[in-house]
Chains A and B, each alone.
Chain A
Amino acid sequence: MSHLRRPAPKELQPTSFAFTPENQEKAKKIIAKYPEGRQQSAVMPLLDLAQRQTEGNWVPTVAMDYIADMLEMPAIRVYEVATFYTMYNLAPVGKNFIQVCTTTPCWLRGSADVVDTCKKELGIGVGETTEDGQFTMIEVECLGACVNAPMMQINDDYYEDLTPETTKAILDALKKGEKPKAGPQSGRKGCEPIDGPKVLKAFCGCGAASQDADASEGDA
């Protein structure tokens, strides 16, 4: 089990946490979405907000306590949520948090090569962080993008249809501080068949027929 799924050691845990005024506003809006008496449901978006605010992209224990206080619930109920969902990091990660999918469909399509490329390019093993704190790489289970396998998630973006070359290119760009284009790296627009769309060609901007024609076809 990854160390990100265990609370960070005491030395790393900050001693206090509070939302920035800006995030406090956001939190208020989030809480307002839930009906009276169901405010505790806001725990997940608030944990996410806390993670985004924290340097190192993680949720320190004090932040969980802070949210528990905010939502008037026992701290342990927040811990339960934070430790259950893998989207919450319980220990600090690098600036670019790389999650390579290695579940069967991605693996069949060459995710092992993607992992190897990351290892070689970054000089780190699975679950490790580079010395400069720029990259953390972990293996994850299915992220639900099997059609574009193999894929990896870097922070909020999916990078799909990867090969060792495109993986390297993405990492190189990130190293330079650039933000590579998210999505399929193969020239595909979305998850259409690799040799071009077969249906609804009008909608993906690569077919001959216009939208109107398509619509009238549908009527007939």
Chain B
Amino acid sequence: MPKLTVDGIEVEVEAGATVLQACEEAGKEIPRFCYHERLSIAGNCRMCLVEMERAPKPVASCAMPAADGMVIKTDSDLVKKARNGVMEFLLINHPLDCPICDQGGECDLQDQAMAYGFDSSRYAEKKRAVKDKELGPIVKTIMTRCIHCTRCVRFSEEVAGVGTMGAVYRGEDTEVGPYIEASINSELSGNLVDLCPVGALTSKPYAFTARPWELKKTDSVDVMDAVGSNIRIDARTGEVMRVLPRTNEDINEEWISDKTRYAIDGLKRQRLDRPYVRKDGKLQPASWDEAFAAIKAKVSGLDGKKIAALAGDTVDCESMTALKDLMGKLGSPNLDCRQDGSKIGGPRASYIFNSTIAGIDEADACLIVGANVRAEAPIINSRLRKRWRTTAGDFKVGIIGEKWDPTYKNDYLGAGPETLQEILDGKHEFAKVLKASEKPMIIVGMGALNREDGDAVLAATRAIAEKYGMVSGEWNGFNVLHTAASRVGGLDLGFVPGEGGLATNDILDGAAKGDIEVVYLLGADEVDMSKLEKAFVIYQGAMGDAGAQAADVILPGAAYTEKNGTYVNTEGRAQQGWRAIFPVGDAREDWAIVRALSGALDLTLPYNNIDAVRSRMVELSPTFASLNVPTKAEWTDFGVSGDMKSDGFVSPVRNFYMTDPISRASVTMAKCTEAFVKDAAAEKVA
């Protein structure tokens, strides 16, 4: 542990730390452009120069390893002069277009020029101009502004795993971008915009819409997948302008996927902004009272067994709690939060990502079963890639299911249960890898569990976990990867069939037969609506998607940006998001709608504010008692051993960019689909 002195302050840093990190330890701010904690060190911007005793000239602190006895000065005249010089060179070819630049107000170059820039330029020659690059529907480029820090090059190579960006040509002709025109085909490309310290890479959908100081910033949690990425919602005058990542080392580090970032424009289209009631076969606008009255007329006196409720993929735990309690009061055991009919919901350890996402950093082998992790949870896939990179390829990954490109080295083992059985029997080559590793893990996707034989597959994966020591001591490498943000929360709350209750597929069949007369869809759009034609359908949600079309009564709810809500991610980590803007029109927070409806039905639920709902949640599951920390689940028996079918596992996510009503309504996601999803063009023709 080297000890060094920074501006007279003695600091001790970890071996392998850089001088820049030591300076930060001492509380000194070092200006930088190319240095980034999560990327490799380039040392090419030279902005982080510091004075080091006994060194003949200033040193780039980001690339200088901290050593014992170093004496560093960060505030001397030499340092100031050196940085001024670097800044002057950087500004030589940088255009003076800050007033029309989207980076203005949050630009590293602009900020640091305030400290180290001159008031005028001494450069009288012609400035250089660089042709803009076309990088696809997400990243907008103004390459003349580029200062060649190569953060984007390193990000796309190291984190995203797509070698699109590079620094081509040389000297004054250097250009950052692809050599041949190519879009950045990565689910993480939006992060390039955050990484760029200047305005060279900016957000295309957000272009020229707002200045950072006009925005109200609200902390929230993403619902586009089950990762629970921490986000910040920036809103202005009641409109969500953009979504940015919030750093959370345990979940998303500081990245978010493009869907998380850009699906929000879907929230401005196809919204349900007032209640509707179907009259004479047509949905007619109605008041809340009329909508509740229509429901009351249908539900009053109806046997609870003829009522069913389904919760969608993006709903918050508060509203599921309220609906579960209402169903209890109505005497209905028919409720389910698993729209896809997946066979999960036993002991808690059987349906969460037990190792936690950060746990991937410790694993040394991984078996992926029936999950296209890149499409289902790009953030987790980047974590797997990071593990593969930091172990220099020693992290062995085997994939069973469809073939997909994970961006890191992997062994494709087979398509379905047969391969799974071979591994369980120890006949497969990969079994040796699992046997030899100390902390192996398995990731089981919904593609493996949403089948009729899901129980048997679950039992087989559990047996593999047992056999290869995936669960030992503190380490639990049995992981289920969910695709829906609400799923784990729903299971924790017990939003599953009660005694004698029906699960999703039975509810749908019952409705088709006429046994189920009322179906309450809480943001559920992914089920086969044709089976609900006979039933009286209540749809509560924010988006006018499939569910709303099939509805007899529509209760307009709030989107995830418009309500305070609790979500449990695939790790079983409960997190709360805050309201960034108010719901549109007459829409209300979802738990409050259910509460109001319970009043109208004379079945008043016992809570009047969100805190009371949350107390009820804690009663239902200890998950909600400790926010932001995943609670360890006890390893018990689950799954039902049985014969597995021979069909291969198929990932439920066919198109990463469109998985839920919000992303389906998003213009940006539609453009991405067209640009990046191979079959999209063909589908369009057909």
Contact = CB atoms under 8 A, between A and B. Distances in A.
Contacts of A73: 163
Nearest to B177: A76
A75 B170 CA distance: 17
A152 B167 CA distance: 30
B180 A74 contact: no
Contact of A7 (B163, B166, B180): B180
Contacts, number: 36
Nearest to B166: A76
B62 to A, nearest CB: 22
A80 interface: yes
A52 interface: no
B213 interface: no
B260 interface: no
A175 interface: no
B165 interface: yes
Looking at chain B's contact residues, the main secondary structure is: loop
A89 interface: no
Contacts of A80: 166-168, 179
A53 B448 CA distance: 51
Interface string A162-206: 000000000000000000000000000000000000000000000
Looking at chain A's contact residues, the main secondary structure is: helix
Interface in A64-83: 73-77, 79-80, 83
Contacts of B164: 76
Nearest to B178: A76
Nearest to B180: A61
Interface residues of A, number: 13
A1 B173 contact: yes
B169 A5 contact: yes
Nearest to B167: A80
B157 interface: yes
A137 B179 CA distance: 25
Interface string B137-171: 00000000000000000000100000111111110
A84 B169 contact: yes
A74 B157 contact: yes
Contacts of A77: 163, 166
Contacts of B170: 83-84
B179 A83 contact: yes
A83 B169 CA distance: 5
A1 B169 CA distance: 11
A77 B158 CA distance: 13
A80 B170 CA distance: 9
Contact of B179 (A1, A5, A79): A79
A1 B170 CA distance: 11
A73 B157 CA distance: 11
A83 B167 CA distance: 9
Contacts of A76: 163-166, 168, 178-179
A47 B180 CA distance: 18
Contacts of B179: 7, 61, 75-76, 79-80, 83
Nearest to A74: B163
A24 B410 CA distance: 28
Contacts of B166: 76-77, 79-80
A7 B180 CA distance: 9
Given A79-B166, A83-B169, A84-B168, 14 more contacts: A5-B173, A7-B179, A61-B180, A73-B163, A75-B179, A76-B163, A76-B166, A77-B163, A79-B168, A79-B179, A79-B180, A80-B167, A80-B179, A83-B179
Interface of B: 157, 163-170, 173, 178-180
21 contacts: A1-B173, A5-B173, A7-B179, A7-B180, A73-B163, A74-B157, A74-B163, A75-B179, A76-B163, A76-B164, A76-B165, A76-B166, A77-B166, A79-B166, A79-B168, A79-B179, A80-B167, A80-B168, A80-B179, A83-B168, A83-B170
